[in-house]
Amino acid sequence: MNRPVFMKGNEAMAEAALLAGCRYYFGYPITPQNEVPAYMSRRMPEVGGVFLQAESEVAAINMVFGAAVAGARAMTSSSSPGISLKQEGISYMAGCELPGVIVNIVRGGPGLGNISPSQADYWQSTRGGGHGDYRTLVLAPHTVNEMVELTMDAFDLADLYRNPVLVLADGLLGQMMEMVRFPDPIEQRKTGLLRGRDLPPQDWTLTGCQGRSPRLIRSLLMKPGALEEHNFHLEKKYALIEREETKAEEIDCEDADIILTAYGTSARIAKSAQIMLGEQGIKAGIFRPITLWPFPYNRLAELARRVDRFLVIEMSLGQFIEDVQLAVAREKSLKQVKIGLLARPGGGVPTPEEIAARAREVLP
Amino acid sequence: MSLKPIFTRTPGLKTTPTSYCPGCGHGVAHRLMAEAIVELGARGRTIAVAPVGCAVYGYDYWNFDTTEAAHGRTPAVATAIKRVLPDRMVISYQGDGDLASIGLAEIMHAANRGERITVIFINNTNYGMTGGQMAPTTLAGQITTTTPYGRNVDETGHPLKIAELLAALPGVKYSARGALHKPGLIRKAKSYILNALKIQEANLGFSIVELLSSCPANWGLTPVKAVEHLEKVMTPVFPLGVFKDETPGQEG
Ligand SMILES: Cc1ncc(C[n+]2csc(CCOP(=O)(O)OP(=O)(O)O)c2C)c(N)n1
């Protein structure tokens, strides 16, 4: 039995990584995620792991690359400007099919922006971020407890698909303290996103060629047709991930007058707005994607058959809404539905009152 | 009567012919590195990190585990491999654009941390793979595709002397510069590589061997003229020798 503890999001996430068997952490300081490296620097020596403060985010992601090459569970964390610097490395990891977990505690942008909570890295996270045709799984927790579970799951999914996995949160979740219960790792593998599936053997890692022929890890494929073939192979993997891993939370969506659609911090606040709207006699549902890629297009499209009012709440300037529109458009012309947007960019955080007021405007 | 083999192809290399230009030093460097690894009995526990550059296909020739790395990030990748597998031999093979320009932060910090890795650094005074642009090691006055009037050191800086620079760091236990244009020097270069790998084997710290290597195609010289250029023009700027050797019993 694991007793619940009161803990800060960033630290809980770091502890979750350790529970998941991560023994290599590489990072570079940036607010609002500094608790992660601080926590790791203290805990890694206790568990016989390695904490290394890298010379830059660029070095840190390439260290994750190296640790993955050698077959270890490794993680880096950063915030938006640092994540931009990691993109080349993430693209290489995707190309080389290497697992790894990257945590982004998003802050306001563009540029140095500010350190307030933000969701402005949505496109960067879900549309690639780096160069080339590739995908990264993106997990978006909305509570500290969920940060723990999804971080643990992230390592399993990374190993399952040999693909980098991004955990996307923000300064609000990273800095807040909440009660969390650390699951037993074996239990989590059964009840979490891995759903009890076996992880594939690591028959590709570089450990020295003693007793076997030499192995090679690369993304460079110059032979005519070789890269196209590799990319089609990746496409198959991505299609499988879309089929198997899409996940969303739904509350009272089936007979809702309006569905509040949001992820992470915005969804958390939308839940308060839902209660507020209920008290005003408005049936509002909550649709909260937990995986941002793969995005739950199909389920949202299904709901759009019955519901024709949506309010998208995002702490960015209309990035997330594009996926909602893409989903709804699978079922209905966008002329038949009304999709309102409450966008708070640049570190603004919506209030439940604001959301409820905007929802009433979207309703007939 | 049985014949005793006194020379064989090293099992450290595959039989694939290299695709390097005539007179290029990469093939020689590959062989020295492979021979040294085999002589230390380390082929089965070696993990090499191949560069972005002309030697990007190193894995087609080396007969041991190899990974690619992004341009210049080779030491960061090697650092993590070694941290995960401390008893393996980890080698970072890098060109002068890779190491001395885009990857300067990674090499300085890996060296300064005293990572137990060995770096083989090919100095051919230009970016070979991309067609012969100026590198940080380009000689004063040298013509490259991006210094058509010759390198003006007042505007673009002076040739960076990596072996000397890194020797100054406490984490670096071995730093030497060899050359690949004469049989005697090639043998010496191999002894440097062996020493550097032994430093890693003994878990002492970071080791680097810089190798002056000719690039006739991009220098616009015949292989024979390129060797003369390396001898007469390059070595006065990049002196050969051992700049640091902290092998126990070798100090001083
Ligand atoms: C980020 C990035 N920038 C630029 C390049 C293009 N590029 C490929 S090889 C190379 C230069 C390699 O030169 P060097 O390291 O001196 O090795 P050489 O080819 O001379 O052996 C460059 C700039 C790249 N692959 N990635």
Q: Is residue A220 part of a domain?
A: no
Ligand 1 close to Cβ of residue B24 (< 6 A): no
Residue B146 sits at φ, ψ, to 5 deg, of -110, 5
Residue A215 lies in a domain: no
Q: Is B54's C-beta closer than 6 angstroms to any atom of ligand 1? A: yes
In this structure, is residue A183 part of a structural domain?
A: yes
- On average, the pLDDT of chain A sits at 97
Q: Judging by beta carbons within 10 Å of its beta carbon (0-12, 13-18, 19+), is residue B252 exposed, middle or buried?
A: exposed
Of B67, B70, B83, the CB nearest to A206: B67
Which residue, of A242, A258, A293, is where some domain finishes?
Answer: A242
Write a three-state SS string for A266-321: HHHHHHHHHHHHHHCCCCEEEEEECEEECCCHHHHHHHHHHCCEEEEEECCCCCHH
Separation of alpha carbons B189 and B184, rounded Å:
9
Query: What's the start-to-end Cα distance of chain A, in Å?
Result: 50
Residue of B nearest to A210 (CA): B44
Co-location of A189 and A312 in the same domain: no
Same domain, A16 and A135: yes
pLDDT at A330: 97
Q: Are residues A358 and A288 in the same domain?
A: yes
Q: Do A196 and A288 share a domain, yes or no?
A: no
Q: From ligand 1's centre to the CA of B56, what distance in Å? A: 9
Claim to verify: residue A266 and residue A352 sit in the same structural domain: yes
**Across A252-275, average pLDDT:** 97
> Does the pLDDT at position B1 exceed 70?
no
Q: Give the Cα separation of A324 and A341 in Å (integer).
A: 11
Q: Which two tokens stand for residue A101?
A: 């977990």
CA atoms within 13 A on the CB side of A114: 7
C-alpha dihedral (A89, A95, A97, A101), degrees to nearest 10: 30
Asked if residue A197 and residue A302 are part of one domain, the reply reads no
Flag whether pLDDT at A1 surpasses 90.
no
Atom of ligand 1 nearest to the CA of B101: 15
Q: Is residue A218 part of a domain?
A: no
Whether residue A123 is found in the same domain as residue A16: yes
Chain A residues close to B47, C-beta within 8 Å? 69-70, 206-208
Q: What is the pLDDT of residues A195-214, one digit of tens each?
A: 999 999 999 999 999 999 99
Residues A191 and A272 in one domain: no
The Å distance, Cα B122 to ligand 1 centre, comes to 12
Q: Whose CA is nearest to atom 4 of ligand 1?
A: B71
Q: Do B66 and A24 touch (CB under 8 A)?
A: no
The number of CA neighbours under 13 Å toward the Cβ of B133 is: 13
**Residue A59 token pair:** 């070095």
| A361 token code pair | 């405007």
CA angle A309, A311, A317 (to 5 degrees): 140
**Structural domains of chain B ordered from first start:** 26-245 (3.40.50.970)
**How do strand A338-343 and strand A164-170 relate by DSSP bridges?**
unpaired
Percent of chain B topping pLDDT 70? 99
Range of the domain at A284: 249-362
Q: Which pLDDT does position B109 carry in this prediction?
A: 98
A119 assigned to some structural domain: yes
Minimum-distance CB partner of A208 among B44, B59, B73: B44
Residue from A47, A304, A213 nearest B44 by CA: A213
A266, A321: one domain? yes
Contact call for A52 and B83, based on CB within 8 A = yes
Position A221 in a domain? no
Name the residue at shortest CA distance from atom 24 of ligand 1. Answer: B71
Query: Of the candidates B100, B24, B106, B6, which has an alpha carbon nearest to the alpha carbon of residue B61?
Result: B24
Question: What percent of chain B has pLDDT above 90?
Answer: 95
The length of chain B is: 252
CATH for A356: 3.40.50.920
Ligand 1 contacts CB of residue B20 (under 6 A): no
Write the pLDDT tens digit of every residue in A100-115.
999 999 999 999 999 9
A217 and B66: CB-CB below 8 Å?
Answer: yes
pLDDT beyond 90 at A317: yes
* Residue-level pLDDT at B249: 83
Q: How far is B163 from chain A (nearest CA, A)?
A: 21
Ligand 1 atom 12, closest CA: B53
Say yes or no: A44 and A139 in one domain.
yes
Atom of ligand 1 nearest to the CA of B124: 20
Q: How many angstroms is it from B111 CA to the middle of ligand 1?
A: 21
Could you tell me if A198 and A81 lie in one domain? yes
Q: Are residues A11 and A117 in the same domain?
A: yes
**Chain segment B84-108, per-residue pLDDT in tens:** 999 999 999 999 999 999 999 999 9
Task: For residues B108 and A232, give the distance between their C-alpha atoms in angstroms, rounded to a whole number.
Answer: 39
Q: Chain A window 250-269: which residues touch B at a Cβ cutoff of 8 Å?
A: none
Q: Which two tokens stand for residue B2?
A: 């049985």
Best mutation target, A64, A97, A206, A223, to test chain B (most B CBs within 10 A) = A206
Residue A167 sits in a domain whose CATH number is 3.40.50.970
Q: Tell me which DSSP letter residue B44 carries.
A: G
Question: Is A210 part of a structural domain of the chain?
Answer: no
Residue A19 maps to a domain: yes
Q: Is B166 in the pocket of ligand 1 (CB under 6 A)?
A: no
Q: Is pLDDT of B26 > 80?
A: yes
Contact A125, A95 (CB under 8 A): no
Asked whether B125 lines ligand 1 (CB < 6 A), one says: no
* The overall pTM is greater than 0.80: yes
Complex ipTM, two decimals? 0.97
Residue B252 binned pLDDT confidence (cut-offs 50, 70, 90): very low
B96 lines ligand 1 (CB under 6 A): yes
Backbone angles phi, psi at A106, to 5 degrees: -60, 140
Domain count for chain A, please give it.
2
